[in-house]
Amino acid sequence: MGVATLAVDVQARACITSSLGPQTDPRHVDIYRAIADPTRRAILDELVDRSGQSLFELCGRLTMKHGINSSRQAISQHLGVLEAVGLIRTRREGRSKLHWFEGAPLKAIRERWPVSTDGDTSYSTDEGIEE
């Protein structure tokens, strides 16, 4: 990563964080960025479906189930991003590195915007809009 890219990332993060308001935890911004990528979401889906997969297993499942033909190096980089924000955890077993989904960071985001339990589904953001 070049110095210019790093400067842009720092500037973008500051802009996103300031637009989300003072209550926003900067780690949430990183989680949003991590799950914004469709390949990373597919990786998380695969780890939820079957925990403890190696890079080789993940690459095979991503190709077969999702049509993602990325190189092992590219998938490894995606796994690094997910691990850095705490969405996966890893463990070495012999020569293999196994990966598990870790949902705690998503729980913190969910707690910020809890699901309504009052059963009122009549509210619509389209009400009062004339076409």
102: left (phi over 0), alpha (psi -120 to 50) or beta: beta
The string of pLDDT tens digits covering residues 20-77 is: 444 555 556 789 899 999 999 999 999 999 999 999 999 999 999 999 999 999 999 9
Amino acid of residue 53: Q
Q: Where are the domains of the chain?
A: 24-110
The string of pLDDT tens digits covering residues 72-102 is: 999 999 999 999 999 999 999 999 999 999 9
Q: Assign 68 to helix, strand or coil.
A: coil
Give the fold, CATH level 3, of 24-110: Arc Repressor Mutant, subunit A (1.10.10)
Overall pTM surpassing 0.75 (yes/no) = no
